[in-house]
Amino acid sequence: MVVQAGLSRAEATGEQLAAEIEAIEERPRHDHDPFDLIVRMGHVQALARRLDREDLWQRSRLIEADMLGRQGDLPAAGRILHDVHAWAAAHRHPRLLTLSHWYLSMLFGQLGDPTSTLEHAVRAMESMNAMTPPASTMLRTRCVMGLADAYGDTGDFLAARARYAEAERLAAGPLEVQARLIILNNLAYTECQAGEYAAATSAAERLLGLFEEHGLTLDDSTRDTVAKVWVATGRLAEAIAILKPSDKAYDNQYEEANSVASCLVTLAEAYRRAGRLDRAAAALRRCRDLCAERGLASVDVDAQRVRADLLASAGRFEEAFRAHQDFHDATMRLHSAQRDARARILAVMYETEEARELAMRDPLTGLYNRRFVDTELPVLLQRAAENGTPVSVALLDLDHFKRINDTCSHEAGDRVLRQVAEMLTARAQMIDAAFGARLGGEEFLFVMPGVDGRDAVEEMTRLCQTIRRHDWRPITGDLPVTTSIGVSISPHGHGTAADMLREADTYLYQSKAGGRDRIVSAHGAGAGGTVRAGE
């Protein structure tokens, strides 16, 4: 059977926490105890919040989602993966995009959706190639192997073969033994599915040789893969011998849930083909007991297929016919259940995203709200500090807004707020990654990543003029609508979000005190109502 390669407590600094998370991401997924790692990620997430590192919080959530998926909680895993992926896309975070696409590819593989599996595997490769600094050998190997598996699942065996070869080249170093084991396992399985038994045999023998070379104990997934190849090529005694250790009670709750049961199906098939029908029946009973105990519907369907073949081999053709009908009905039920499960999980994922988006939006204007600003601005500053790029923020407050509410109506005031929000949105669309937010009442924020002091002042001068020159008469009559603006600039992303907002608020106060309808900033004066702070 195909296995998938995969992905602590830090002290005080973001660098230490980032290093710890990366160490977990770089280790094979099945090296981790899911329960322990979920608990550990809770501590990591709390520390990431205290350090104001949204990116690290999101990376730790990916690890949590992976462990939840290994425990079988696919809806919870799906919710987190979709949420983190949306954040990574919005923030253009290549590493998170790579990892979220890779995890989503595995999730859709578990849900039996090969098209989505392949799509996310391709996207993971694209995002990985955009990473700066370049992705590690382990992450690159993992993504290439995920793409190979996805091609195999869609029946594109030629493309799968090329990607497995690429993954082997990447994992040629002495530290990548575990990765090579998984590559050879999945290659052998895929070649067997393709009917290329000579290639499957070669991969299986190389796989066993690698285990022996490094003194490693065969796991059930490897036993099952190699045995499938031996059964397909008529090496039945070898298949039975390699599977015998799986024909026993298992209490390892962290193995892949269907590994043992799948081994028993293969063992039953090997016994059947060898003419040892009683042994085949016993292995099937053991398998179906495990399937009932663990809810392994897909393996149980395969077991029903083997049972029908076993009855036919025993000459019990009427029972075999009924068993084959049962197998067909179970297959249809399984496909229906898989479709329903996909639909439920997708609904949960997208409902969660919709709820998150609504929670981050101001209901009156549709702009982002303070909650979004508190989440987003620290991340923008962190990225700016890493890249040495500026961030500018402008705090806007509509002048004499209370007079509009009192003289015209609160409905008129709401219309003014919505119109100003549209102006902010239009301005944001002209600046890469900029956004507007309503902080409350008549106060707005405009965030400009990558924009330095002079350009920020010029942008706000244009906005100030746009608001002043708009025809407000249908809403406010003779009352003008203007705004006062305070602009704060972090030239290289240094400082905190709170510092920038505090500085912008100070300049906003100076703008009000200086006569309103103007911009105040510590950086140069532009045209039209713009003054330098302190003038």
User: For residue 433, is pLDDT > 90?
Assistant: no
8-43 tens-digit pLDDT: 444 458 888 999 999 999 887 777 888 889 999 999
User: What does the DSSP 8-state code read for residue 532?
Assistant: E
pLDDT over 80 (residue 142): yes
pLDDT at 75: 84
Q: What is the per-residue pLDDT for 384? A: 87
Mean pLDDT on 126-138: 89
Residues 348-388: tens digit of each pLDDT: 666 655 556 667 888 888 899 988 898 889 888 888 888 88
Q: Looking at residue 74, what is its pLDDT?
A: 83
pLDDT at res. 487: 96
The reported pLDDT for the residue numbered 450 is 93
What is the reported pLDDT for 12? 53
Q: 483-490 and 391-398 as β-strands: parallel, antiparallel, unpaired?
A: antiparallel
Give the model's pLDDT for residue 348. 65
Q: Give buried/exposed letters for 50-83 (b at 16+ CB in 10 A, else e).
A: ebbbbbbbbbbbbbbbbbbbbbeebbbbbbbbbb
Domains identified in the chain and CATH numbers: 1-213 (1.25.40.10), 370-532 (3.30.70.270)
Cβ pair 81, 67 in contact under 8 A: no
Q: What is the pLDDT of residue 150?
A: 93
What percent of the chain clears pLDDT 90, i.e. is strictly above it? 58
pLDDT in tens, 238-269: 999 999 876 655 544 434 657 889 999 999 99
3-state secondary structure 392-444: EEEEEEECCHHHHHHHCCHHHHHHHHHHHHHHHHHHHCCCCCCEEEEEECCEE
The alpha carbons of the chain give a radius of gyration, in whole angstroms, of 30
Q: Tell me the pLDDT band of 232, cut-offs 50, 70 and 90.
A: very high
Q: 335 or 358, which is more confident? A: 335
Q: Which residues contact 388 (CB under 8 A, 6 or more apart)?
A: 492, 493
pLDDT above 80: residue 528: no
Task: Please give the residue that has the higher pLDDT: either 121 or 531.
Answer: 121
Residue 173 has pLDDT above 90, yes or no: no
Mean pLDDT to the nearest integer, 410-435: 93
Range of weakest confidence among 83-97, 261-275, 346-360: 346-360
CA distance 272 to 239: 12
Do residues 67 and 37 touch, judged by C-beta distance below 8 A? yes
- Nearest CA to 207 out of 195, 219, 193, 196 is that of 219
Give one DSSP letter per residue of 186-215, joined into a string.
Answer: HHHHHHHHTT-HHHHHHHHHHHHHHHHHTT
**pLDDT at position 2 over 50:** no
pLDDT at 109 over 70: yes
Q: What is the pLDDT of residue 424?
A: 96
Is pLDDT above 70 for 175?
A: no
Judged by average pLDDT, the poorest of 178-187, 248-257, 339-348 is 248-257
pLDDT number for residue 501: 94
Alpha carbon distance 366, 428 (integer Å): 14
For the segment 441-446, the average pLDDT, to the nearest whole number, is 95
* Per-residue pLDDT, 9: 44
Q: What does pLDDT average to over the chain?
A: 87
Q: Which residue has the higher pLDDT, 350 or 344?
A: 344
Q: Report the run of H or E that residue 112 belongs to, with start and end.
A: none
